[in-house]
Amino acid sequence: MMNRTTRIAVIGRRYQSTVVAKNGNGNGKPRQSRSAPTIIESKQPEEPSLGESAHFKHTSEEALATPGIKFSDGHGLKGPTGRGRQTRRMNLYQAIRDALGTALATNPKAFVFGEDVQTGVFRCTTGLVDEFGTQKRVFNTPLTEQGIAGFGIGLASVGACAIAEIQFGDYIFPAFDQLVNEAAKQRYASGGAYPLPGGSLTIRAPIGSVGHGGLYHSQSPEGYFLGAAGLKVVIPRSPIQAKGLLLAAIRDPNPVLVFEPKILLVVEEVPVDDYTLPLGHAETVKEGSDLTVVSYGTPLHTSLRAIDLICNPPPQLVSFLPNALKPPNPAPSIQLIDLRTISPMPIIELVESVKKTGRMVIVHEAGKSGSVGNDIAGEVGRRAFEYLEAPIGLVSGWDTPVPLTFEKFYQPDVIRVFDKLVETLSY
């Protein structure tokens, strides 16, 4: 497979050959097109893909050792047969499909609905209508996000398990009033009587950029919901996390938004049985004592790569490191925390980490203003100010609409995270 530089070079040569064929100069020599691209071959190694992140589970043993995993049948790792649990290779969307199938199969009052769930843009609901459609529990809705949210609120109020899909997170804003003014308040306003026993409301939506989605298919809207007390907001980083957190959300009596990073088409081993992972708790992905890095979703894997570059710098990057971080000095010890749930924020866990490390960097794709990062920085700054040895760092998207042509520059990439880690460690 050709890398990006090779593809550009081939395109350039083809373009130039066309110009030569049409515009010979009469003396046997071609006339160079002034608009033909100049190709600069790069010998720098390409960055590994997100799928090569060291924290995806590629064996059954790793998958079954996932911290906090709880199997719903109560038989632990040995399973009901006593012979252990099975896993299967799934990407994030296959894991979501597996969770939805499990929810429908185990709860006759569960419903899945959205604008195109009979096929599914990301194939998360593929086949569900064939399996459960005769029971009229999987169905398409009109193109009305506020209607989808309002219907889900009502369905939960009578004791049903409502699982709604917003086709893209960018289109959740028409449902904002229903989610923030109705769903978030009903449990509090009813003194805990809403929903009726067995009822629940889960809203799923894919978020984040893929490099070419532009203004209306690449946004990360999670920050808008941080002030909506009563809503839980979950963002998984991997297939195992997606299945376990989604099933936990579906069974939680509080309304839960599950935002799914659309770029994470990576594959890992996922337990096939029914299991959940705890909501409201962060997970320490990598231990460390010199710096705390906090992230969630796709940027967590970008952060992990930046940490690896600092701890094991290639020769090309050594000159950019301050002397204290250059080999043969000991590599810094960096802790990486996956938030998983951004509302309620697991702030106590973050404060305790900063009390240990004295430094913090937060990484996410959403813009800076009104963001998860600013929320964390404010709370940690208030609660652990005397422990901080450097200003809290934040690497985020820019406070602009997601630009189609420059989308790759909007995303926090490895070098931006690397620079902020170096800056914070050197302060």
pLDDT by 10-residue block (mean), the chain, 427 residues = 40 39 50 54 64 80 96 93 94 95 97 92 90 89 96 96 96 97 95 92 95 90 96 97 98 97 85 97 97 96 95 92 94 98 97 98 96 97 98 97 91 95 97
Q: How far is it, in rounded angstroms, from Cα 220 to Cα 151? A: 24
End-to-end Cα spacing for the chain: 43
Assigned CATH for 282-425: 3.40.50.920
**Entry pTM:** 0.88
Q: How high is the pLDDT of residue 327?
A: 93
Q: Which helix (H) or strand (E) element contains residue 111? A: strand 110-114
CATH superfamily of 60-276: Thiamin diphosphate (ThDP)-binding fold, Pyr/PP domains (3.40.50.970)
Q: How high is the pLDDT of residue 359?
A: 98
Q: Which amino acid is at 52?
A: E
The domains spanning 60-276 and 282-425 adopt the same CATH topology: yes
Which residues fall within 8 angstroms of residue 290, CB to CB, at 6 or more apart?
Answer: 332, 333, 334, 357, 358, 359, 425
Q: What are the residues facing 292 on neighbouring strands?
A: 335, 360
The reply to whether 55 belongs to the active site is: no
Torsional sign, CA 23, 25, 31, 35:
negative
Across the chain, which distance is largest between two alpha carbons, in Å? 90
Q: How high is the pLDDT of residue 170?
A: 96
Q: How far is it, in rounded angstroms, from Cα 195 to Cα 201? A: 9
Token readout for 403 is: 């630009």
Catalytic residue among 165, 217, 260, 301: 217
The reply to whether 145 belongs to the active site is: yes
| Residue ranges of domains in the chain | 60-276, 282-425
Q: How high is the pLDDT of residue 368?
A: 96
Nearest one of 100, 99, 57 to 266, comparing CA atoms:
57
Catalytic residue among 145, 165, 283, 407: 145
Task: Say how far residue 355 (Cα) sits from the centre of its chain.
Answer: 27
Nearest one of 158, 223, 146 to 182, comparing CA atoms:
146
